[in-house]
């Protein structure tokens, strides 16, 4: 037996046959005759059906349909479902994909061949509706932008207490925006500004440290001088916005000139692109913040490795390491590997099944202990038998928990492991490309932790 709901809509009082009572009576009769349970009635009375946005009961019904609360929607006539044909097709198609039928009691159901044609029409109309919806959204955004209405998420320094209203200055954040602009004019770099903010304990709106990339975004955003910049489909809108500026236009323009002037100066260091530029990239890690070391080019000297977060102003580890020095340390260690003192880890993919298996074994032993107790209480086992069982099971649990505390490191085949290391060193010394070398390193080494003060390298190998 199917679960059905009724949807009733009346926009005028001109026709008696369309009254809510008459529609509901006929729908109930139909449900009874067709062995359906009518669980709920959704009714929009005195509301135009041109669009679904103005029909709260209809929207509630669609929401319930997504939660599979019923199988069938019964309506009096297709015109009661929607007056907008495109919208009707879109909603019908969406409901059909969820396995929910829409039945009109005054219109005959279509045959199989006609249903195939209707499904094709549904797909075409659904695509057209999607395209038109996208165009309408873009058109609405362009209209807002042309009027200087800020419609995105409120930027740092502003808030929007009332939805769809102009931005309002957030005093807790706006003073930092002013401070950033002032300090940049004083000669500080974006990196130095981020370091100073982090040192004073300030956080971004999401509770994270400030990065130099975020500082430059603030310095370049015209919203702070009361303007709106919007780009869409090749059209650019630069308009005076309807909110109060935090920075005056003169200072904002001066800062833009400073940014342009500094951009013309060749940087001493240049961070490499995301492509793998060295076989140690992504393996060496900073012990201060846990971030990976990045490869940076020196325009007039030796390329170096340094903490990635230091370059963004979020780590105190300012010490870098020359690439040749790093290569020599790593290769010398691997070539003279003290295997008995190696740190071995298990990859997350391998560790999870071991962890789950250990936890499951512990649970089974705990259940066995409880069963032994119940057997004694019911008189099945004697006190001596219970004590013996308890002692054996408890010992097994203790042993298992000790193993969990030590870790799930498997037994290492030293000979096989040394063969892998020898092959790795030979590969690094060969003429194969950097990407291949890096992949081989990552398959064997989990990470190399570097202490910036002592320059001590600690290796962690995959077992």
Kindly state the percentage of the chain with pLDDT values over 90.
16
Question: Which of 223-237, 393-407, 442-456 is predicted most confidently?
Answer: 442-456
Nearest to 122 by CA among 159, 85, 68: 85
* pLDDT tops 90 at residue 356: no
Residue 251's pLDDT is 94
Distances (CA, A) of 311 to 192, 296, 307: 10, 10, 7
Residue 416's pLDDT is 85
Residue 300's pLDDT is 65
- pLDDT tens column, 33-87: 888 888 889 988 765 544 555 688 888 898 888 888 898 999 887 767 765 666 7
* pLDDT tops 70 at residue 273: no
- pLDDT tens column, 407-451: 545 566 778 888 889 999 999 999 899 889 999 998 889 899 998
- pLDDT tens column, 151-199: 678 889 999 888 777 888 998 899 999 999 999 999 998 888 988 998 8
* pLDDT tops 70 at residue 266: no
Three-class secondary structure of residue 264 per DSSP: coil
What is the pLDDT confidence band of residue 110, given thresholds at 50, 70 and 90? low
**Would you say how long the chain is, in residues?**
463
- pLDDT tens column, 125-154: 656 766 777 777 777 777 776 666 776 788
Residue 53's pLDDT is 56
Nearest to 4 by CA among 28, 25, 20, 23: 28
DSSP state of 339: G
Beta strands in 190-246 (DSSP E): 227-232, 235-240
Q: What is the mean pLDDT of residues 207-218?
A: 88
Residue 348's pLDDT is 47
What is the pLDDT confidence band of residue 462, given thresholds at 50, 70 and 90? confident
Task: Provide the CA 333 distance to its chain's centre, in angstroms.
Answer: 39
CA Rg, the chain, in Å?
Answer: 35
């Amino acid at each position: 037996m199917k679960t059905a709901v009724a949807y009733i809509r009346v926009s005028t009082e001109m026709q008696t046959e369309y009254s809510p009572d008459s529609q509901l009576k006929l729908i109930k009769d139909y449900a009874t005759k067709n062995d359906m349970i009518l669980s709920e009635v959704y009714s929009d009375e005195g509301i135009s059906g041109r669009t679904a946005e103005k029909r709260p009961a209809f929207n509630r019904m669609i929401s319930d349909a997504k939660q599979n609360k019923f199988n069938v929607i019964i309506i009096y006539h297709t015109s009661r479902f929607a007056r907008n044909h495109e919208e009707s097709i879109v909603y019908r198609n969406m409901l059909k994909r969820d396995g929910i039928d829409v039945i009109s009691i005054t219109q005959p159901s279509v045959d199989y061949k006609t249903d195939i044609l209707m499904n094709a029409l549904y797909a075409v109309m659904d695509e057209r509706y999607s395209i038109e919806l996208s165009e309408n959204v873009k058109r609405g955004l362009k209209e807002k932008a042309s009027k200087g209405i800020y419609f995105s998420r409120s930027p740092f320094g502003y808030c929007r207490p009332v939805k769809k209203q102009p931005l309002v200055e957030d005093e807790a954040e706006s003073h930092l925006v002013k401070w950033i602009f002032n300090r940049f004019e004083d000669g500080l770099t974006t990196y130095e500004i981020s370091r100073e903010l982090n040192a004073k304990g300030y956080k971004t709106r999401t509770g994270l440290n400030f990065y130099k990339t975020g500082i430059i975004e603030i310095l370049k955003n015209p919203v702070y001088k009361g303007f709106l910049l919007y780009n869409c489909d090749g059209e650019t809108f630069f308009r005076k916005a309807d909110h109060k500026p935090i920075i005056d236009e003169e200072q904002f323009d001066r800062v833009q000139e400073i940014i342009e002037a500094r951009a013309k100066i060749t940087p001493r260091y240049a961070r490499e692109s995301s492509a793998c530029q060295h076989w140690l990239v992504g393996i060496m890690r900073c012990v201060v913040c846990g971030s990976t070391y990045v490869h940076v080019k020196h325009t007039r000297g030796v390329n170096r490795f340094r903490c990635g977060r230091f370059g963004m102003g979020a780590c105190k580890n300012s010490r870098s390491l020359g690439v040749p020095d790093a290569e020599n340390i790593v290769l010398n260690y691997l070539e003279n590997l003290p295997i008995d003192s190696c740190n071995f880890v298990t990859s997350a993919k391998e560790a999870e099944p071991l962890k789950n298996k250990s936890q499951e074994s512990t649970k089974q032993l705990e259940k066995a202990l409880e069963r032994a107790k119940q057997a004694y209480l019911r008189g099945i086992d004697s006190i001596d038998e219970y004590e013996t069982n308890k002692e054996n099971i408890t010992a097994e649990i203790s042993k298992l928990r000790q193993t969990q505390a030590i870790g799930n490191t498997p037994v290492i085949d030293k000979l096989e492991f040394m063969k892998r290391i020898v092959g790795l060193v030979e590969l690094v010394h060969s003429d194969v490309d950097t990407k291949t070398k890096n992949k081989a390193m990552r398959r064997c080494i989990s990470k190399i932790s570097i202490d910036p003060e002592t320059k001590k390298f600690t290796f962690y190998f995959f077992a």
